[in-house]
Amino acid sequence: MIMNLFKRAVMNSILGNYSTAINYYLNFISKAAKCYRDLKSGCELQSDDEKEAAINLINAWCNLGNLLKFLGDTREAIKCFYEALKLNPKDPLALREAGDLHRKSGEYERALRCFEKCLKLNPRDVYAWIGLGTLYEAMGRLEDSAECYRNVLNVDPRNGIAWYNLGVIYDKLEKSDRAVECYKEALEIDPENKHAWVNLGNYYMKRLDLRKALIYYNRALEIDPYYEKAWYYATLAWDCLRDTRRQVEKTPSCEKTVLKGTSKTSKKR
């Protein structure tokens, strides 16, 4: 049964037996390819198993590509997605994944062609818009990137990835207040987004509201106690607080009184 090879490939991939999964996929592809050619040429396939194998050939190439992508073999992964595109040039998954791998390889023009083709086929493909937004960010085209994420939100206002990514772009554009709004929207949708919590913490850190910043860093660490970025900024905030306390302790009492008086005056105003 040819489809058993496909099922074993999927199962071994889930179990982490990656070499075995790759071998099963390659074995399946070699057998399914003949079924696919026969089906396309009008030959009658002998069994439902052969028909199902022919139909799943594109899925097998995409699954193998994603597995190789996960394993870091970018070149071979791209080849898999292009094999899928030979069978169906309009396959959205293969186009998006090829575009993403081209971006990661620094092949921006090729990536752009993949995403643009995907969006021409379906202008409401939110995953293609997100991929294009990420590409534009890598290219330094921040306003274009922001527009891509806004396009996602026009289609899917509850897309947490788009809200978070839009916040990151606004941060890079030095529009911090708008970035904060986006992070908060992202966290309403996905409270487990540790990156958004840290970025909110950084917003208050820059404004020297260290205690509030620590609240957000600690929230990120509750989600992931091993999140190095959160630990780094939380430690920095604590160090700044300790330095502030030491500075206050070293300040002569008359200066403290003046400072307190200044504080009260500013409050009255």
252 pLDDT more than 80: no
> CA 91, CA 102: separation in Å to the nearest integer?
17
259 pLDDT more than 70: no
SS3 251: coil
| pLDDT for position 248 | 53
**Whole-structure pTM value:** 0.84
172 pLDDT more than 60: yes
| pLDDT for position 255 | 44
Q: Which residue has the higher pLDDT, 7 or 41?
A: 7
- Which positions ≥6 away from 117 have C-beta within 8 Å? 95
Annotate 61-72 with DSSP letters as a single string.
HHHHHHHHHHTT
Where do the domains of the chain lie? 1-88
Task: Give the mean pLDDT of the chain.
Answer: 91
- Which positions ≥6 away from 189 have C-beta within 8 Å? 158, 159, 160, 163
112 pLDDT more than 90: yes
| pLDDT for position 5 | 96
140 pLDDT more than 80: yes
| Per-residue pLDDT reduced to its tens digit, 38-87 | 888 878 777 899 999 999 999 999 999 999 999 999 999 999 999 999 99
| pLDDT for position 266 | 37
| Per-residue pLDDT reduced to its tens digit, 11-25 | 999 999 999 999 999
108 pLDDT more than 90: yes
Least confident residue range of 17-21, 125-129, 144-148, 240-244: 240-244
Q: Which CATH number fits domain 1-88: 3.90.700.10, 1.10.3720.10, 1.25.40.10, 1.10.760.10?
A: 1.25.40.10
